[in-house]
Structure 1
Amino acid sequence: MDNPPVDLGSGVGPVLEKFSDVRRIVVLRGGGLGDLIYTYPALNALRNAYPQAKVTLLGTPVHAAVAAATDGPVDDVELLPVARGVHDGPRNGERFEDDAEDVAAQEAFFEAMRAREFDIALQMHGGGRFSNPFLLRLGARHTVGTRTKDAEPLERNLEYVYYQNEPDRWLEVAALAGAPTIISPPLLPKPEYQQNIAGLRDPQRSSLVIVHPGATDPRRRWPASYFAEAAAAVAAEGAQVLIVGDRSEKALAQEVAELAGRQLQDGQRQAVTSVAGELDIGDLAALLAEASVMLASDSGPRHLAQALGTPTVGIFWVGNVFNAGPRGRGLHRIHMSWLTRCPRCGADITQVGWTAPHCGHDDTLIRGIAVADVVQDVLDLTATSLLLRGK
């Protein structure tokens, strides 16, 4: 770190002196839904520290959709151009196609961003090999972010170590910009989305459990048959179960719903249904906010549910718990697999970064997690959720 800390007692890291005359803050965060949610505690801290400043996010279409559908700390979203290591274009296997970068589009983007005259630019996108040079081209007065030893330095830097809780990592970055950690308020879906999902709720059922069986990385997925067994057990206890997912997950969600239905009596089968591919991100946020509990693999929708204040039961590989697992256990429960090697080839899967490429196998790493234990946590949190909501 380049400047001496002014406060060693607040939040998860030292809080440095605030920057002066800050009117415009820009945050770089590519990736998917979960990647955005990781940054929200830090964005709330920045909003609190600089209440007069406008917060712009440089992100992806799903980030723009979340910001538009909820009341949160982001004022506006600028979509990233295709740029290596920041916002990837088409891929050939695991290799980024160099010609996927549109240099003209990048130049136009940076020209437009420099015209915004940002006061602080924060890099919240990895270790900085590609994202720090990208951030520096924005022309902000001050730059703050994470950095590996081989990455270009910013004005204030946090050493990037892969195995760290992601929200805490970005809270430390916000602290370097003078923003102490605060207790973040839950995201709130805008009212029109709450109206959209009103017809999905079955008033005859005592609670609503949302299940998301998918994950971007297939190695993070609990088997569909396990999700189905859990869904059937919860439905048998009186819950309505809705299976969610995007369009690419429709077949998986339908498989879970059908397998669960086979385990239920005739009068209960309608309690488990799939709405995968039928909801936009605002509808999903409203549905998750209404839910008693969410059961999911380690995925973006689970992170969104947590940000909305909904209790969750998550199925994790142990390495992902370090980075993505919720810290509290009162409203969030974790079940994790302790595998450290690929089940097929034996490759060490705990190694990370550019020196440890994917072994090429997508076998699930989620082994040894008993359905009965997961179901019990769902039922326990359902009771807690209903109590907290006065039902």
Structure 2
Amino acid sequence: MKLRDLLRGGKPKKPRIPPLGAPAARAWTSPSNTLRRLGPSPSILVVKLDHIGDFITALPAVKRLQAAFPTSTVSLLCAPFVADLARSTGLFAAVYGFDFFGARMQEPRFANADDVSELRAMGLPAHDIVIDLRQEDEARALLWGLDAKVRAGFGDPVNPFPLDIALPEMERCMRRKPWPAMTHSSTRLVLLVEALVHARDMGVETARFATASVPVGETQNSVILAPGTRLGIKGWTAEGWLGLASAVVERTNLDIAVIGRGEEAETAAQMAKLLPQGRLRDFVGQVDLADLPALIAPAAAFVGVDTGTTHLAASLGVPTVALFSGFADIRVWAPIGPATVVVHAGAGCAPCGLPSETLCPYQRRCMSVIDPEAVLSAMSGVAAHPELKRLRAVPQPELVFAAS
């Protein structure tokens, strides 16, 4: 259901899975990458339109926000009757008043299009980040009356407001069934701030593992391909892997290294027949899990599907291209790393969660539409190796590269 329909008071309907249509491979821009692009001092607007007690319980979250963004300007949009109290805290560069709930409103109402227009007419300055600390979503639509690059708040799956950073509405979830333990409202707000801060920081640091028994530089000047996956529905096509390996060898002086379990032996054997002698390094079935970090780390680049080895490569800081199917939610399970591009088709049926590729009514077009040229272009955009810069031989105008 579209936002404008929600603002008009309509009731959300169960979404219909649309036909896949003609998806195109493209790179996914994550909220984390958007946050990092804002720089070290993004302007922040805290939205807290409810009552006095609610404002007091939010103060620890505001202090945590300021500690995480020490050079940022933090402003507040609150109820007019809270404004003077808010100013007296000294926590905010500016305090704006907007009367939505009213001082003594007993039954909260939902924001509508008139409310959004009224807020927009106030002409508040644009902010990089707007974070709504109201725990339920009656006023969530008001965020679209504010000019912002990133919006954070609590979300309810029934009301699909397109927040960039969201936690589930804990109060509503806990009321549906008695819980043995409850989370204090102040703690919940701090958790939302932590979700925003972690989204900004995630993927910046690399993982470290103890040195394993793999010869140093075994995959240096190689592109590692990891075609295997526990769930076949996540896999890429054999033609894709072979075409990618062939193009890398033809266009660069880099070799191909293949990793995986025994199931990937056939793909490695096909590559061995296709590639010039000496250009393939076959590690399928030969490397223990504990040795993988040492094997992967020296590589010029890594290409894999949504699987553990791809997450490992991304966490190591290796230039990684992840080919993401429609099986899982990309917003939740995309690999994290400082030099990672996630290529996907944006399928309308994703995430499907289908346990087998045989159950897909679209013959897994979410993966088959990803061609080697899109992957080559992604590698050239994320990797620093001079050989990989030569891979962007065929322009890919639909791709906008962004590290996840």
Give TM-score scaled by structure 2 length.
Answer: 0.45
Higher relative contact order (CA 8 A, sep 6+): 2
- Give the structure with higher Rg (CA): 2
Give TM-score scaled by structure 1 length.
Answer: 0.46
